[in-house]
Structure 1
Amino acid sequence: MSTKSQVLTLLMKKKLTYISGEEMAQQLSLSRTAIWKAINELRKEGHHISSSRNKGYCYDNSDILSAEGIRLALDSKTPTLSITVLNSSESTMKDAKLAAMNGEPDNTLIVADIQEAPKGRFGRPFFSKAGSGIYMSLLLRPNQNFEEMAQYTVITAVAIARAMDNFSKIQTEIKWVNDIYINGKKVCGILSEAMSDVESGQISTVIIGMGINFSVKQDEFPEELRKKASSLFPDKDPTITRNELIGAIWNQFYNILHQLPKQAFLEEYRQKSFVLGKTVSFTQAGIDYEGMATSITDHGELVVTLNDQTEKVLSSGEISLNRINTTT
């Protein structure tokens, strides 16, 4: 760990509490000069660090993305993550794919302050704003069967919803299969992709990506998105940092991933769905359909009962919901 990283970690642990330069030097086995240089570098990066001749240094509330801040927010039961934080990225999904090809290990997390060319399902663009969002992708090497792939998106949706509910005290909803909504507006999109091993026929790599509107003010969205999109903190200052939310999401994700029974999270996913019981329209194989969303299978598929009472089982990779009748 670099000197700067050690200093930042110690300051964050003592958040809002002063610690003298001498004490820091002793705890980290560093010189006072090394401490002073590291603090100056951190301030240049935007970290708010107060100083007092009599008290020392104090880390103020700073919403700067950092690997150190994310690690401090992770539970002891969460696996050790290999974390890279970028100022900007064309796409963290692309970064994670490159990491996979370069042999990076399981549980590699890539986080960016802004994405220059963010894409969601079916290549749809979404709004990205520096300092106000979370754009990240996690690389996993699960060696599982393909039918288990959809569950990663479902698990991630439940994990994000839990984390947001706990911090904001606002109840989230999930739009099948990969969007998180608050008060009828989208605040997060999730994208999962898999790579297979030809010989074993199993999934060798899974990449889970997400874009979260964290503190984008409502009037900062493009005009065409203001009625459709929002953020976790659209009209007030955040009560948490982005690092804390990121840590909470992955704590919940790994907790669900390792819990027993394995399907327990699906009931929570169903309860949070605002699609079930509503009339939906969709296009499949070039044909338009409309029907009632009646259930979600154990593999995360949406079952729609058409007007003639026949059923369509929809996979997330096959279709996109065109319309949900919220008055039904």
Structure 2
Amino acid sequence: MSTKSQVLTLLMKQAPAFISGEEMAQELSLSRTAIWKAINELKKEGHLITSSRNKGYSYDKSDVLSIEGIRLTLEPTAPDLSITVLNASESTMKDAKLAAINGEPNNTLIVADIQEAPKGRFGRPFFSKAGSGIYMSMLLRPNQNFEEMAQYTVIMAVAIARAMDTLVKVKTEIKWVNDIYINGKKVCGILSEAMSDVESGQISNVIIGMGINFSLKQNEFPKDLREKATSLFPENEPTITRNELIGAIWNQFYAILNRLPEQGFLEEYRQKSFVLGKTVSFTQAGVDYKGIATAINDHGELVVQLHDKTEKVLSSGEISLSKINPTV
């Protein structure tokens, strides 16, 4: 761990109490000069650190993304994550794919302050602004069959919804397959991709990525998105940090994984769905269909009853709902 990282971790643990430079030097076995240099570097990065001639230093809560800030929010039941925090990324999904190719370990998390070329499902672009969102991707190495792939995307949606509901006191809903909505507007999109081992027929890597609108003000969205998208804090100042939300999301994710094969999360997913019971339009194999969404099965697939009473089972990888209307 670098000197700067050691100093930041200690300051965060002590916050909001003050700690003197001498105490920090003794605890970390560093010189006072090294402490002073690290604190100045942290201040330049945007961390809010109060200096007092008599008391020492105190860390004030700030919304700078950091490995240290994320780690301090993780519960003991979560695995030891390998975390990278970037100032900017073309795409954290691409970064995670490269990490997989380079042999990075299971539970590798890549977080960026901004994505310069973000893409969602089917390559759709979405809006990104520095300091106002969370853009991250996780590399998992599950060695499971393709039939189990859908569990990860459903688990991720439930984990994000739980974290937002708990920390921000909002009421989230899930649009099949994995968009998180608040008050009828999209606040988060999730994308999952798998890489397979040809010989074993198993999934060797799963990458789960997401873009979360955290503190983007409603009038900052492009005009064509203002009626469709929102953020967790569209008007007021955030009551939590992005580090805290990131940690809470992965705490919830691993809490569900640790309880598998329990399927309670599926019922939670169904209860939060605002698609069930509504009329949906979609295209499958080049043919347009319209019907009522009647169920989400144990594989996370959407079951739609067409007007002729036949059923279509929609897979998240091949279908996008083009329209959702209340059932008349």
TM-score per shorter chain, which class? over 0.9
Matches within 5 A, 1:229-244: 229-244=229-244
Identity rate of aligned residues, in percent? 83
Superposed displacement of residue 243, structure 1: 0.3
- The C-alpha deviation readout for 1:68-113, integer Å capped at 9, x for no partner, is 0000010000000000000000000000000000000000000000
Are the equivalent residues in 1 in contact too, given 2:217–2:233 (CA < 8 A)?
A: yes
Superposed displacement of residue 262, structure 1: 2.5
Give the Cα separation in 1 of the matches to 2:287 and 2:13.
57
Q: Name the counterpart of 1:210.
A: 210
The unaligned stretches of length 5 or more in structure 1 are none
Q: Name the counterpart of 1:159.
A: 159
Change (3 A) 1:226 1:326: farther
Give the Cα separation in 1 of the matches to 2:324 and 2:60.
44
Question: In structure 1, the residue corresponding to 2:19 is in which secondary structure?
Answer: coil
Superposed displacement of residue 203, structure 1: 0.2
Amino acid in the other structure paired with 1:36: W
Amino acid in the other structure paired with 1:154: V
- The C-alpha deviation readout for 1:237-273, integer Å capped at 9, x for no partner, is 1110000000000000000011144211100000000
Q: Name the counterpart of 1:35.
A: 35
Give the Cα separation in 2 of the matches to 1:306 and 1:165.
34
Give the Cα separation in 1 of the matches to 2:275 and 2:83.
35
Q: Name the counterpart of 1:200.
A: 200
The unaligned stretches of length 5 or more in structure 2 are none
Amino acid in the other structure paired with 2:199: E
Superposed displacement of residue 317, structure 1: 0.7
Q: Name the counterpart of 1:280.
A: 280
Question: In structure 1, the residue corresponding to 2:193 is in which secondary structure?
Answer: strand
Superposed displacement of residue 327, structure 1: 6.3
Matches within 5 A, 1:105-120: 105-120=105-120
- The C-alpha deviation readout for 1:281-320, integer Å capped at 9, x for no partner, is 1011111111100000000000000111100000001110
Superposed displacement of residue 47, structure 1: 0.6
Give the Cα separation in 1 of the matches to 2:149 and 2:261.
18
Give the Cα separation in 2 of the matches to 1:137 and 1:316.
19
Q: Name the counterpart of 1:80.
A: 80
Q: TM-score, normalising length from structure 1? A: 0.99
Give the Cα separation in 2 of the matches to 1:161 and 1:249.
8
Matches within 5 A, 1:1-328: 1-326=1-326, 328=328
Superposed displacement of residue 184, structure 1: 0.3
Amino acid in the other structure paired with 2:46: G
Question: In structure 1, the residue corresponding to 2:236 is in which secondary structure?
Answer: coil
Give the Cα separation in 1 of the matches to 2:152 and 2:225.
28
Q: TM-score, normalising length from structure 2? A: 0.99
Give the Cα separation in 1 of the matches to 2:151 and 2:128.
26
Question: In structure 2, the residue corresponding to 1:269 is in which secondary structure?
Answer: helix
Give the Cα separation in 1 of the matches to 2:226 and 2:15.
36
Superposed displacement of residue 14, structure 1: 1.4
Superposed displacement of residue 196, structure 1: 0.3
Give the Cα separation in 2 of the matches to 1:252 and 1:298.
20
Amino acid in the other structure paired with 2:325: N
Give the Cα separation in 1 of the matches to 2:133 and 2:12.
21
Superposed displacement of residue 168, structure 1: 1.1
- How many pairs were matched up? 328
Superposed displacement of residue 326, structure 1: 3.6
Amino acid in the other structure paired with 2:34: A
Give the Cα separation in 2 of the matches to 1:310 and 1:188.
33
Give the Cα separation in 2 of the matches to 1:14 and 1:327.
54
Give the Cα separation in 2 of the matches to 1:115 and 1:140.
21
Are the equivalent residues in 1 in contact too, given 2:292–2:327 (CA < 8 A)?
A: no
Compute the RMSD of aligned alpha carbons: 0.8
Question: In structure 2, the residue corresponding to 1:164 is in which secondary structure?
Answer: helix
Greater than 4 Å deviation, 4+ residue runs: none
